[in-house]
Amino acid sequence: MITLYGIPNCDTVKKARTWLDANGHAYAFHDFKKAGLDEATVARWLAQQPWEVLVNKKGTTWRGLPDEQKATVTDAASATALMLQSTSVIKRPVLCVNDQVLVGFDPTLYQQALQA
């Protein structure tokens, strides 16, 4: 089972979707802007990826947060709360292949994960 999480208008998500389509990989797309996320999903991601990778501190959503709120994000629990509250702060896309979680788009890593 392959699931790609993101938002459809994100350029990096578009690149990932184009690559998956071009390489013949069927996948489910989860638009977390419309469908939201649950804590169990974020917990599965955090079991493999550090919260510092999942929270996109270079993005406009993070930069737009008040400094006081940014200062409260110090561990997986506080990062989870932020990601559930504001899905736009998540680095995109998140690709789940069976039990593997990849963050961002890297064709080489995608190829390796999908060959396994």
What is the edge-to-edge ordering of all strands in the sheet holding 100-103? 28-31, 2-6, 94-97, 100-103
Give me the number of domains the chain comprises. 1
Task: Kindly list the distances between the CA atom of residue 18 and the CA atoms of 13, 45, 83, 96, in Å, as whole numbers in the listed order.
Answer: 9, 23, 26, 16
What CATH number is attached to the domain comprising 61?
Answer: 3.40.30.10
What does the alpha-carbon distance between residue 110 and residue 97 come to, in Å, rounded to a whole number? 9
Q: Residue 1 has what pLDDT?
A: 87
Structure tokens at 26: 């069927």
Split the chain (116 residues) into runs of 10 and give each run's mean pLDDT. 95 97 96 94 96 96 96 97 96 94 96 87
Residue 83: give the domain boundaries: 2-115
Q: Examine the residue annotation and report whether 10 is marked as an active-site residue of this protein.
A: yes
pTM to 2 decimal places:
0.93
Residue 72 sits at φ, ψ, to 5 deg, of -85, -10
Q: Residue 115 has what pLDDT?
A: 87
What does the alpha-carbon distance between residue 18 and residue 56 come to, in Å, rounded to a whole number? 22
Q: Residue 99 has what pLDDT?
A: 85
- Residue count (the chain): 116
Active-site position among 1, 4, 6, 10 = 10
Q: Residue 98 has what pLDDT?
A: 86
What does the alpha-carbon distance between residue 97 and residue 46 come to, in Å, rounded to a whole number? 15
Q: Residue 116 has what pLDDT?
A: 61
